[in-house]
Every structure is written in C-alpha cells, then in structure tokens.
A and B are shown apart, each in its own frame.
Chain A
Amino acid sequence: MSAPEKGYAVVLGATSAMARYLAIEFGKAGYGVVLAARDMEECEILAADVRVRCAVPVHALSFEAGDFASHDGFFDACREAAADGITAMALAFGYMDEQANAQADFAAARKTIDVNLTGAVSITEKFAAYFEARRAGAIVIVSSVAGDRGRQSNYIYGASKAGLSAYAEGLRNRLYHHGVHVMTVKPGFVDTKMTWGVVPFAAAPEAVAKDIAKGLRKKRNTIYVPFFWRYIMLLIRHIPDWQFKKMKM
C-alpha cells in the first residue's frame, strides 16, 4: 500500500461506535488511519475492518487518556506509524459514570474529569504543537451537549465536557492564526452502548460520523449532531437561572 494521499488521521478512542464510523469516513476520503484505544484486541479488529473497507493503511496503537505520563510516548508512536505524515486528529474518547456514583465517590468524579478534560488537554496540546509547526492539519474534538448547561442529572460529566468545549474554542482561536482548523462536535443522544436501554431515541452512529466528516470538509466551527440538538440546547441555554435551578431535567 502506498503512502495515503491525504496523510494520516489519528482517531483517539477508536472503539466507540461513533469513532469507528468516523475512522471509516476518513479511510473513504483517502486518509491512512491510526486507531488508538485501550482495548487493543478490539482496536486490531477495527483496524482490519477499516483496512478491508477502505483499502488504506491502518495501524492500531494502545492509548490511555487517563495515563498522562504515557502521552509523550504515544505521540511518538503515532508519528512513527504515520511516517511523520499526520494531517488530522479526532478526539473521541470519553468516560461517563452514573451521576449518583460520581457524586458519592470522588474517585469516579475525578476519573471523569481526568479522562474527559485533563487527558484531552494533555494529548491535544501535542497534536496542536505538531500541526502548528507545519501550518497544516485539522483537529476534531468530540464534546457533548451535556457541556452546554450544567444539569442536576449529569453535571460532573457535563462539567468535564463544558471544560473541553471551552478548551476547544480557545484552541480554535490560537490555531486559526497558524492555518490549522479545530472543530467542536457536540453530540446529543447517539445510539451506542452509552444510551442502550436508557434512551429510546438516539441517532445512528454511522449517520453522526457522516455529519462529522461533512462538517470537517466544510470547516465548520461547532456542529451539533444530529443537527436539531443545536436548537434544543439554544432553548435550554436560555432558560433563566432562577427557573432552571427549580427544574428536574
């Protein structure tokens, strides 16, 4: 297989359903793909899938968002796998526990923030510096609508995602001046194991991935997937505090 024309896309958190289909979208668009996840057995299976479907080079690497010390070594491994030709990165990892648990057990709350925010900052800064030096590249950060407003039913996860959204916004601002695009993705309910049995109506991850790929091609800044969540959150964000605090959303 020759060097991919579009360079390599690195997908962090590749084992989530959304990330899996996003990797396929990258492959179909002509990118080589580096899949990174904790679960190497699954990661290798996913790599085979992208390879067969898209006929592009695909590598599987071990990555642990919450293990900050490993991020330097991981980034080096990425560069090597991509023959120093990384042109895109998608951050699709995330940890969500039940609110009741996160409230009661600080270790659970800490893990949520460590993975979703601290880990995100740690690894993304490395890609940011890499792209900035080359004045080329694109970063996709998968946040969540949960970060748009802190609700009693999910505010610890929400806080971590709110932080991630602000981080992505600032990064977009910084990297714009260096020719690098950063897109924030805010999914509502997506039909994955996170919502299975909990939420009756959720978007198909294949459709969500197509929306993300389209948004990236159009260099959108922030997209909601599916699109109507933008309007749902617009309404929710406009509920005044004195009203919102009384609600049980």
Chain B
Amino acid sequence: MEATATRSISGWGRTPNEECAVFRPERRRGLPWILGNGGQPHYIARGLGRSYGDTAINPGGGVIDLTRLNRLLDFDPESGVVTCEAGVSFAELLDVFIPRGFLVPVTPGTKFVTVGGAIANDVHGKNHHRDGTIAQFLLSFQLLLPNGEVWNCSREENPEVFWATLGGIGLTGVILSARIRLEPIETSYFNVDYYRATNIDDVLTKMRDTQERYQYSVAWVDCLAKGASLGRSVLMNGRHARRGDLSGAAAKNPLGHPNKRQKAIPFNFPGFALNPLSIGAFNEVFYRAHPTVEGKLVDYDTYFYPLDAIHHWNRMYGKRGFTQYQIALPFDAHDALVDILGRVSKSGRASFLAVLKCFGPSNEGPLSFPIPGYTLTLDFAMRKDLPAWLHELDKILLEHGGRLYLAKDVCMKPETFAAMYPKLDAFRAVRDRLDPNHTLQSHMARRLGI
C-alpha cells in the first residue's frame, strides 16, 4: 500500500550518507500501516533533513518522510494557538501567520525544519535565555506508538512521554500533530544593536551585561583570530520593532514578508574551497563591515535565517561533507570555552560558521540539550582525522559539565554521550516502555547505544 524508494540519504552535513528504504505517506493512515506492514525491521521518522548528523537516517531499515503530512488543522487568533501536522515546516508557519500578526516563538537558524523535527530536537533559538526552547510554547502533541496506539502528550497528560519526546530524536514514537502557541507581533522587523567585540572576553562580558535588555542575542565569532584578538566577534542583540520604529516602505507594510532573491549553490565546491585563507578573508571582511551601531532595522528573514538565503549552502563543503560541533558549557566554565576556542584557532581547522549564544534555565527533558551557560557552534569540514581531534575537545567538555547537541553530532562516542546526559537511563526507561522492540531506531541511536 505504501511504496518505498531506495535512496541514499544523509543529514545536512552530508556525511554519513546511507541507503535507506524511504516511505513518503500522503495519508495519515499510511503511518500505522508502515509501522505494522512496511516490511522493514525498524523505522525512523524524518522531516526536512536539516539535522546535521544521523538522527534521521536508518540504513538497513525504513525512513518515513513526513513532509507530505503537513496540513494545518486549526488556528485560534485569540490565543495564537495553531494545531498542525508534524510535517508542517516553520517556513510555512511564517508564510501563513506573519501576515496575521504571529511569529514562531522559538526558531533554529533555518526555517526549513518541520514541527516534528523541532520537537524531536527540542530546538532553541537566539532567545533561549529569555524564552527557553520550543517546549515552552508546545501545549501538546499526538504521538503514534509502534503498536498503533495514539497518545495525547502534554504536561498534564503522559508528562513523562511529553518530556522524553522533546529532544528524544524520534525514538519514543512518530509525532502526528502538535499544538503550538505562536507569538503575537506588531511588525515583522527587528531592532538590532550591533557591538563589535575585540576578543572573547569582551564579547562574553558584553553578552552577560546586556542579556536582560534584549529578547534575542547572538554573536558571530571569528574563530581564526589569534592572540589578543582570540574570539573577536560581532554581537547582534535584537528586539521586536514596534510600528513606531518603522518608516518608509516598511511602515506601509509592517507585517511585510520580504521577497529576497534566493541564490543557490548549484554544485559541490571542491574540497579546498573553504579553507583558512578563504574563511579568514571572509572573517576579516565581516568583522570590518560590522562596527558598533545601534537601532538597525532588520527584517525577520535576514535576522533569523541569514543562511537560508543561500540554498544548498552545505555544498560549499564539498562532497566529503562537514559536521557541526555545538557545545554547551556552564557559565563558570568560561576558561574551558576560551581553551576550546584557542585550540580551534591554533588547529587551523577553519569554521565557516562560528556562533555564540547564552542559554537560560534547562527544562525537564532528559535529552534536552540546553543548560544554563554558553553555547558555541562551529562547522568543521569532515576529514579522517577530525573525529579524533573532536574527541579531545569532548574531554574538555566532560571535565566541565558540558555537552554536545544530538541534532548536530556525527562522531561522539557512546560513553561520552552517556556521561554528558545523566538522565539517559530515565529516557531509556520511558522509551523501552513505549517501544520494547525498538521498532523505532536510527543510525545515531545504534551508534550511541540509546
């Protein structure tokens, strides 16, 4: 009844890339059918494939592409609560609801993620210090278990399952639909204050000092700078723009949806394209181009999703692909953060993207990533010697109570993972109750021994 296509699929980092039997049901009842009669030994659900690693690939088994189950089911303009299927993307939510005066309350750096994927990774954005993860705005969701039952999960109903699923990378069940409270907005623009920091200490101090005043905060870091300039950055603190802040064309269309010309990387760049020289040059230009200035008006697409404007930007890393190394460290591990940054700078492994944010309080999700402190995100081109070098950094994380993000990881060791997530056993207990036969599995789940 449901056809499969054998496809080589990967995460956004394009490695590992494995052949899987992919289903793409167009009807709701296709899902229980697949889990019961799909003919595969195990399955994992997949959204738009923006996780960097192997959370949504399942070589030797089935992958269920949920992007066709992307219907909006209900919207209450009074409360801002939208009910929708898990395959709906944040891009679609923005398209439909920004004109009606509502914004997605928490969003990762790309709008091309599904609601299901956002829940399964308990995504955070530039406003975690103030607003937490998507969990804060998630009222409930419907979860399909491998045995065919559908459970409604919320803080009141099946709370253990609710929290295990947030960050549970699809291992507790297939999310069918969710109710999310959108954020009412006056305009679709942001008031951004830019601060050019001379080094890592400067930016960390500034971030801590200014956090209270801004809903959104993120710093772009030059990870190649050395010595006294180690970690020089551009801090971009943002707040929603009010109607009165707008002028000209924006004022006439305060909830306007910018139609930016989209570029696309048409083919794989050769492996040497992104290297310390090219990235170093880019960093110099970027740093110079962003002096300290206040009150710049920026549209939501540019502020939240600068990379989405370049379709297939992951091709810039070439066929070998890359991995994103995103760490979270407690505030008192400031020295560890500087140590890691120093090692990155010295290694010459240039990261095209280097982003620093602050995290606020963590939530009850056993596998939820954010802990109060700093989070630093770096890209690294995949090379044979990369995993071993990253494992050295993992050691520093472990020593200081830090952790890695499952949505990005591709090479962490199972022991490291278990040490970083002390509530792993609690997660396993819930998961084993819902799915004793481990019908839901992924390459990552097997790799990390979850």
SS class of chain A's interface: helix, strand, loop or mixed?
helix
Given A17-B26, A39-B27, A193-B24: A48 and B71 interface contact (C-beta under 8 Å): yes
- Tell whether, in the assembled complex, residue A46 and residue B71 are in contact, meaning their CB atoms are under 8 Å apart: yes
A74-89 near B? 1/0 per residue, CB < 8 Å: 0000000000000000
B390 CB-CB contact with A under 8 Å: no
Given A193-B3, A197-B3: A45 and B26 interface contact (C-beta under 8 Å): no
B37 CB-CB contact with A under 8 Å: no
B residues in contact with A15, CB < 8 Å: 26-27
B91 CB-CB contact with A under 8 Å: no
Interface core residue of B27, B71, B73 (most chain A CB under 10 Å): B71
Find A48's partner among B5, B22, B24, B72 (CB 8 Å cutoff): B72
Minimum CB–CB distance for A195 against chain B, Å: 9
A193 to B5, CA, bound (A): 10
B75 CB-CB contact with A under 8 Å: yes
- Tell whether, in the assembled complex, residue A192 and residue B26 are in contact, meaning their CB atoms are under 8 Å apart: yes
Interface size on B, residues (CB 8 A): 20
B residues in contact with A48, CB < 8 Å: 71-74
A53 to B99, CA, bound (A): 11
B29 CB-CB contact with A under 8 Å: yes
A72 CB-CB contact with B under 8 Å: no
Find A193's partner among B22, B26, B29 (CB 8 Å cutoff): B26
B residues in contact with A197, CB < 8 Å: 3-6, 22
Given A46-B71, A196-B3, A197-B3: A52 and B96 interface contact (C-beta under 8 Å): yes
- Tell whether, in the assembled complex, residue B72 and residue A52 are in contact, meaning their CB atoms are under 8 Å apart: yes
A41 CB-CB contact with B under 8 Å: yes
A48 to B5, CA, bound (A): 29
A8 to B60, CA, bound (A): 48
A197 to B29, CA, bound (A): 20
B residues in contact with A39, CB < 8 Å: 27
B28 CB-CB contact with A under 8 Å: yes
Minimum CB–CB distance for A40 against chain B, Å: 12
A17 to B27, CA, bound (A): 10
A132 CB-CB contact with B under 8 Å: no
Given A41-B28, A41-B29, A192-B26: A49 and B71 interface contact (C-beta under 8 Å): yes
A42 CB-CB contact with B under 8 Å: yes
How many contacts A-B (CB < 8 Å)?
Answer: 43
Minimum CB–CB distance for B180 against chain A, Å: 13
List residues 11-30 of chain B with CB under 8 A from any CB of chain A: 22, 24, 26-29
A residues in contact with B24, CB < 8 Å: 193, 196
Minimum CB–CB distance for B84 against chain A, Å: 8
Identity of the chain B residue whose Cβ is nearest the Cβ of A17 in the assembled complex: B26
B68 CB-CB contact with A under 8 Å: yes
Identity of the chain A residue whose Cβ is nearest the Cβ of B27 in the assembled complex: A42
A192 to B3, CA, bound (A): 11
Minimum CB–CB distance for B5 against chain A, Å: 3
A residues in contact with B22, CB < 8 Å: 197
B residues in contact with A49, CB < 8 Å: 71-73
B40-71 near A? 1/0 per residue, CB < 8 Å: 00000000000000000000000000001001
Identity of the chain B residue whose Cβ is nearest the Cβ of A199 in the assembled complex: B5
- Tell whether, in the assembled complex, residue B3 and residue A53 are in contact, meaning their CB atoms are under 8 Å apart: no
List the 4 closest pairs (A to B, CB-CB), nearest first: A197-B5, A49-B71, A52-B72, A197-B3
Query: Which A residues are closer than 8 A to B by beta carbons?
Result: 15, 17, 39, 41-42, 45-46, 48-49, 52-53, 192-193, 196-198
List 16 interface pairs A-B (beta carbons < 8 Å), by A numbering.
A45-B71, A45-B85, A46-B71, A48-B73, A48-B74, A49-B71, A49-B73, A193-B2, A193-B3, A193-B24, A196-B5, A196-B24, A197-B4, A197-B5, A197-B6, A198-B3
Query: Which B residues are closer than 8 A to A by beta carbons?
Result: 2-6, 22, 24, 26-29, 68, 71-75, 82, 85, 96
10 extra A-B contacts, CB within 8 A, seeds A193-B24, A198-B3: A41-B28, A42-B28, A45-B73, A48-B73, A52-B75, A53-B72, A53-B96, A192-B26, A197-B6, A197-B22
